[in-house]
Structure 1
Amino acid sequence: MALHTSAEAPLPIGEVSRLIGGWIDRLGAIWVEGQITQLSRRPGQGVVFMTLRDPSYDISVSVTCYRQVFDAVADVVSEGARVIAHAKPEWYAPRGQLSLRAVELRPVGVGELLVQLERLKRTLGAEGLFDADRKRRPPFLPHRVGLVCGRASAAERDVLQQARHRWPAVRFEVRNVAVQGVHAVPQVIAAVQELDALDEVDVIIVARGGGSVEDLLPFSDERLVRAVASCRTPVVSAIGHEPDSPLLDLVADVRASTPTDAAKRIVPDVVEELERVRAARDRGLRAIRSLLEREERGLAHALARPVMEHPQRMVEQREAEVDALVARSRRVLGHLLDRADSELAHTRARVVALSPAATLERGYAVLQRTGGAVVRDPREVAGGEELRARVAGGEFAVRVTE
């Protein structure tokens, strides 16, 4: 809409801002590209604020998006990264400021690859391929080590030299494959599966030197990750340098920071092991000596006890105690018998004193009627009745005359 203004009829700046906002509101969402120069993610807020800058024109535009939009790429996007945003232009009339409301963010170049890898990582992690309980510990001293690496590569040289320096008798099964490019994934998978099928191979090392993110992409391929997860032989991942972290590192049983580190983790150092054996032997000897000395002191202490110096003394003491107990028991028994005899004599004397026979001995007689009843009163008998008189010397018959 055309506006008619003049020096006599100017348009207020607020109206101009309102008109600009109305025109911008009619614009649809657009795709824009820029570099993140400022990034603000405040805890607890659902909106992320950032500034996109175009270095070619030295122009910056404020961008806002919901947190879930930014979290989708948060692992690979930070300040300084270039992104592509699908955003709707917005005009803030009170300040006269243009901003963009992003509904989708995409990293540019390597960032996009990292986003794809992050999605694959989450998918495989959800299946449990990276769980710690799936990890297997390699043997202490493998009989034969499988090595998958590039032909005449520095990784192969580092692994072989370091391993043979640590343990000269170690043996290798080397499979040279392409470690980058379109043929890398199928060749590495075939080599790993071939070594896994060999019973004499105790551990497999997949090694490659450092490189760019694109060079290391084969070792994040889903097919290779699943092939390693299905191996029955422990697998060691030695890809790139310490900062590099392909998905093979997560699924492997052991993750080595470099090929040299892989050799150190798999093959023990013969010098260190000999030193450990010597140290263990010294500890064992010291422990045995200490045990013998302690037992010797205990034996000497036991032999120094009186019972060990004069073992018969204990028998003599017990014999004396038995004799004392026997004598005591005899005295007690004699006292008991004497007291019982005295009591019996007193009882006998009392019985004799109270006995009717003793009364008869003093000249008394007992008259009994024919039925055996004792006569106590003269009125109990009649004249002419025959009675029996019992005296100390015997008995005789009597007749009542009066």
Structure 2
Amino acid sequence: MALNSSQDSPQPLGRVIGAVKDWVGRLGEVWVDAQVVEIKRRSGATQFMTFRDRMANMSASVTVSTLVLDAVGPLPEGSRVTARIRPRVWDRNTSISFECLELHVAGEGRLLAQLEQLKRKLQAEGLFDEYRKRQIPALPRMIGLVTGRDSDAERDVVTNVGRRWPAAVIRTRYALVQGVNSAESVMTALAALDADPEVDVIILARGGGSLEDLLSFSDEGVVRAVAAARTPVISAIGHERDFPLVDFVADVRASTPTDAAKRVVPDRAVEAAHVAQSLARLRRAIDAQLAREQHLLDTVRSRPVMVDPTSAFVAHFERLDLLRHRLDGAIERRLRSEQSDLRAAVSTIRALSPKRTLERGYAVLVSDEHESIASVSDVAPGDRIHAYLADGELTLDVVEPSTKEQHG
């Protein structure tokens, strides 16, 4: 009911505000389709959001309990939602807002929320940890490729791998890359290549598409199969802006199938250039080393001892002559000294020799048994003795021995 008022009988402002609040409250609860453009989380039981009409340039402030907001799960800004709301007018400043009683993610937003929940679950299990990532071989013997039959992704990988490294060998397993059975088809092809001992690396390749088109590569089974693979896996799904969950568990994430080809094999031209540069550096290093060694050899050869090897012996020869001269002199002096000592010794020996004694008129007496006779008591009458003189020998017969006492 409209309020009656005039200039002479105006209505109190509070009554008018109360009437507006009552009118707004009669709208009751209503389901709306909107886009979340802002979420302001605060500590407490009430959170604040801004809804915008998806068609018109109109927005509204919305309050929501923490319980209702958390029940939605991850809700990125920009998500499309359906919400059960009721309008409220605040008495103090007459502002109008909407209280959200129930909230659901709609369209791609629902898929994004589900994928975010799965992503957090797998991340909590450690499937995205860096330590699980394996090194891609520098030059694989055989490259496994999981892709759609006659797809642009297959042509991009095969063409660019062949252009970069013509000798590369690719073994392809075709799979459904979208649709109801695509996840199972991808897992079957991946398992076949992973069991092949000749395959050193596997590429999962698919061209770009919508979020729904790429859902197979965010399937929990596919993600876990890639994590459990023994062969290193390169994911090349969609375009650079696309991030299916398999990208987080793969050993290498390539932004496109072409990028995967660049990552899996080296560029022959670049490698040839590197080899040529390395050979040039090696030749320069060898030449420099040879030059240093030649300089060192020339320096050694220019030394006087190398020019005339015998020059170093001249001083030694002179010293050797001096030492030889000294030695000869020392030997000569020693010989003279020894000769003098020898002559003196000979003179002494001769003076003391029995022959010298005999020459002075003495004789040496021995018995027939050639025993020396030193006393008259050594012989008896009738004994034959021999007397040795300076010039010969006498044979004597003892008649009678006599002593000094008998003569006295």
Partner residue in 2 for 1:246: 244
Q: Which runs of 5+ in 1 are unaligned?
A: 328-402
SS in 1 for 2:162: helix
Q: Distance in 2 between matches of 1:312 and 1:44?
A: 100
Which is worse superposed, 248-257 or 268-277?
268-277
Q: Which runs of structure 2 are paired with 1:137-216 in the superposition (5 Å)?
A: 137-216=135-214
Using the TM superposition, give the Cα deviation of residue 49 of structure 1 relative to its aligned residue in structure 2, in angstroms.
Answer: 5.3
Partner residue in 2 for 1:282: 280
Given that residues 134 and 232 in structure 2 are in contact (C-alpha distance below 8 angstroms), is that contact kept between their aligned partners in structure 1?
Answer: yes
Given that residues 34 and 52 in structure 1 are in contact (C-alpha distance below 8 angstroms), is that contact kept between their aligned partners in structure 2?
Answer: yes
Match of 2:121 among 123, 130, 140: 123
Using the TM superposition, give the Cα deviation of residue 301 of structure 1 relative to its aligned residue in structure 2, in angstroms.
Answer: 2.1
Using the TM superposition, give the Cα deviation of residue 306 of structure 1 relative to its aligned residue in structure 2, in angstroms.
Answer: 3.7
1:42-82 alpha-carbon deviations (Å, 9 max, x no partner)? 9999987554233667653222458994998777323xx53
Q: Distance in 1 between matches of 2:72 and 2:208?
A: 28
Aligned-CA RMSD value = 3.9
Given that residues 72 and 105 in structure 2 are in contact (C-alpha distance below 8 angstroms), is that contact kept between their aligned partners in structure 1?
Answer: no
Match of 2:220 among 219, 222, 226: 222
CA change 1:321–1:83 in 2 (3 A) is farther
Matched, 1:83 2:77: no
CA change 1:313–1:150 in 2 (3 A) is same
Using the TM superposition, give the Cα deviation of residue 256 of structure 1 relative to its aligned residue in structure 2, in angstroms.
Answer: 1.1
Partner residue in 1 for 2:336: none
Q: Which runs of structure 2 are paired with 1:1-400 in the superposition (5 Å)?
A: 7=6, 10-18=10-18, 20-21=20-21, 31-36=31-36, 39=38, 50-54=49-53, 59-64=58-63, 69=69, 76-78=76-78, 81-85=79-83, 89-102=87-100, 106-314=104-312
Instruction: Give the AA of the match of 1:109.
Output: G
Using the TM superposition, give the Cα deviation of residue 290 of structure 1 relative to its aligned residue in structure 2, in angstroms.
Answer: 1.0
Q: Distance in 1 between matches of 2:241 and 2:222?
A: 21
Q: Distance in 2 between matches of 1:75 and 1:304?
A: 86
TM-score by length of 2: 0.68
Aligned identity (percent) is 47
Q: Distance in 2 between matches of 1:103 and 1:279?
A: 70
Q: Distance in 2 between matches of 1:56 and 1:173?
A: 50
Q: Distance in 1 between matches of 2:310 and 2:101?
A: 104
Larger Rg: 2
Q: Distance in 2 between matches of 1:15 and 1:236?
A: 69
Given that residues 74 and 113 in structure 2 are in contact (C-alpha distance below 8 angstroms), is that contact kept between their aligned partners in structure 1?
Answer: no
Q: Distance in 2 between matches of 1:313 and 1:228?
A: 81
Given that residues 35 and 51 in structure 2 are in contact (C-alpha distance below 8 angstroms), is that contact kept between their aligned partners in structure 1?
Answer: yes
TM-score by length of 1: 0.68
CA change 1:31–1:284 in 2 (3 A) is same
Given that residues 77 and 107 in structure 1 are in contact (C-alpha distance below 8 angstroms), is that contact kept between their aligned partners in structure 2?
Answer: no
Given that residues 72 and 104 in structure 2 are in contact (C-alpha distance below 8 angstroms), is that contact kept between their aligned partners in structure 1?
Answer: no
SS in 2 for 1:264: helix
Using the TM superposition, give the Cα deviation of residue 14 of structure 1 relative to its aligned residue in structure 2, in angstroms.
Answer: 1.9
Given that residues 63 and 100 in structure 1 are in contact (C-alpha distance below 8 angstroms), is that contact kept between their aligned partners in structure 2?
Answer: yes
SS in 1 for 2:243: coil
Q: Distance in 2 between matches of 1:6 and 1:277?
A: 96
Instruction: Give the AA of the match of 2:150.
Output: A
Q: Distance in 1 between matches of 2:40 and 2:171?
A: 51
SS in 2 for 1:257: coil
Given that residues 73 and 106 in structure 1 are in contact (C-alpha distance below 8 angstroms), is that contact kept between their aligned partners in structure 2?
Answer: no
Instruction: Give the AA of the match of 1:259.
Output: P
1:137-182 alpha-carbon deviations (Å, 9 max, x no partner)? 2212211111111111111111112212222222221111110001
CA change 1:296–1:150 in 2 (3 A) is same
Q: Distance in 1 between matches of 2:318 and 2:42?
A: 93
Q: Distance in 1 between matches of 2:43 and 2:56?
A: 35
1:230-254 alpha-carbon deviations (Å, 9 max, x no partner)? 0000111111111111111111111
Given that residues 202 and 234 in structure 2 are in contact (C-alpha distance below 8 angstroms), is that contact kept between their aligned partners in structure 1?
Answer: yes
1:261-296 alpha-carbon deviations (Å, 9 max, x no partner)? 111211222222222222221111111111111121
